[in-house]
Amino acid sequence: MLTAAATALTRTDDTAGVVLVGGSVTLLGWILASLWLVGVLFVDTAIAVAAPIALAPSLVARGYFVRVTRGAIQQERSGGAAGAPSLVDWGELVRDGVKSAVLSAALLAPLGGGLAVVGGAIAALVAGPVDPGSTAAAVESALGPNGPAAVAVVAVGLVAALVGAYLLAFAYLRPAALAAFAASGRLRDGLNPRTVVGVAATGPYATGWTLAVGALAVGYAVAAPTVPLVGGVALAFLARVVAHGLYGRGAADALTSEETESEAQAAVRTDRDAARSGSRTVRRADATRGAEATRGADAARVAAATEKVERARDDPPAPIVSGDGGQPVRSEPPAPVQVGRGVPVDEQGDAETDLADSADAIDGVEAADAGDDSVDARDDSTDGFEWDPALAEAEDKS
């Protein structure tokens, strides 16, 4: 692991270019970031708007370290010993550098919040409603003359211990979070406590982290005397490249297991979703068949009704009892009754029979041809009353 990480740059096609550009970017980042911070704190806060320019070199360097970690993870998985990546495509390096900075800030946020609470408590004791003199007097009466100083020392020591423990945990967990982010390219993976702790709890990562700490210590110790020169900064840059290669190689096994488990869970979810989708498809098919059966029954009833209507249309029309003029006979008394003449019993029975038959025929016509011109026909029959032959004979016989 250490040999592969230490010799990665020697297997790169542009080793000299990576060392020179990396060292120059690191030096420029240190200078610009320091000048920008001093200007914001002691000159004018308006200098803060120059942050993108002042921090750009540092972001490029951070992005390259992310790329080195990603390459080491891939090489460890494949079992190969490829060289370190080239320092090109600076737009991608800046994006990865910004995500790396956000990752570090998120991991340090709890420490910043705790220190803010401690500072607020101290400010409340000094300038708040509580009188510090009375508090010191109470502590002195309880613990003796050196009581206030002892309490202050204990409080400061406790805060320092907590800060130191947090920074140590940060130094151990931050590379694991960076490796998780570098492996997937998703910042949320680097902020996932389960993933980060799962990587940090493995033996290979602990080994790689320990070797990385040793590489950084040796590299910074060698580079410190020559820091004002570009060579010393280049040595510091090389030490960080080796350390990030060790981070990636140490976290590769844990991240591979994590991805395998995620893929298995995704496969289970896919199978479950497919089963649910299949059950929904079956229910939809049953509902569709039921709807089709209902529509078929409705269509059959409509077809039967249509057939009845067509059959009624094809049947011969009902005979219409009419006079010589072809007009329907009015439902009115026979002529002998209208003129007041006597009518024999048998002839009267015949006339009443004819009258009933005529009324039935008229009812049939009105039922079959409702809305036709029957009203107009009856209105037009006012030209004159035409005698039925049977009624005319009855009148002659009488």
Q: What is the pLDDT of residues 29-79, one digit of tens each?
A: 999 999 999 999 998 889 999 999 999 999 999 999 999 999 999 988 877
| CA pair distance 79, 69, nearest whole angstrom | 15
- Same-domain check for residues 347 and 264: no
* C-alpha 246 chain-centroid distance: 36
Q: What is the arithmetic mean of pLDDT over 373-393?
A: 47
pTM confidence score: 0.64
Same domain, 142 and 248: yes
Confidence label for 298 from pLDDT (cuts 50, 70 and 90):
low
* 259 lies in the same domain as 390: no
Tokens of 284: 């939809």
Residue that terminates a domain, selected from 255, 277, 299: 277
CB contact at 8 A, 69 and 247: yes
Q: What is the rounded CA–CA span in Å between residue 78 and residue 97?
A: 26
Pick from 177, 233, 209: nearest CA to 58: 233
In terms of residue numbers, what domain contains 61? 2-277
pLDDT band per the 50, 70, 90 thresholds, residue 130: low
As a whole number, the mean pLDDT across the chain is 76
Please check whether residue 295 lies inside any domain of the structure: no
Is residue 4 within 8 A of residue 250, CB to CB? The reply is: no
Instruction: Answer yes or no: are the C-beta atoms of 91 and 49 closer than 8 Å.
Output: no
Q: How many independent structural domains does the chain possess? A: 2
Domain final residue, candidates 232, 249, 277: 277
Greater pLDDT, 212 or 226:
212
Residues 366, 272, single domain; the answer is no
Same domain, yes or no: 343 and 233: no
Residue 31 lies in a domain: yes
Q: Are residues 97 and 243 in the same domain?
A: yes
Asked whether the predicted pLDDT for residue 380 surpasses 50, the reply is no
Q: How far apart are CA 143 and CA 137, in angstroms?
A: 10
Mean pLDDT to the nearest integer, 96-124:
91
| Nearest one of 267, 287, 264, 286 to 275, comparing CA atoms | 267
User: Which string of b and e fits 198-228 if b means at least 16 CB within 10 Å?
Assistant: bbbebebbeebbebbeebbeebeeebeeeee
Same domain, 249 and 116: yes
The percent of residues above 70 in pLDDT, for the chain, comes to: 62
Q: Quick one: tokens of 91?
A: 């737009």
pLDDT bin (cut points 50, 70, 90) of residue 268 is low
List, for residues 345-364, the tens digit of each pLDDT value.
544 444 444 545 544 544 55
Instruction: Look at residues 78, 103, 80, 77 and name the one whose alpha carbon lies nearest to residue 257.
Output: 77
Say yes or no: 265 and 340 in one domain. no
Spatial separation of the C-alpha atoms in residues 360 and 318, rounded to whole Å: 11
45 and 189 inside one domain? yes
272 and 346 together in one domain: no
Backbone angles phi and psi of 328, in degrees to 5? -60, 145
Within a domain: 308: no
Residues 59 and 193 in one domain: yes
Q: Assess if residue 329 is contained within a domain.
A: no
Domain end, chosen from 277, 295, 313, is at: 277
The confidence score (pLDDT) of residue 371 equals 46
Residues 245 and 379 in one domain: no
3-state SS string over 127-195? HCCCCHHHHHHHHHHHHCCCHHHHHHHHHHHHHHHHHHHHHHHHHHHHHHHHHHHHHHCCHHHHCCHHH
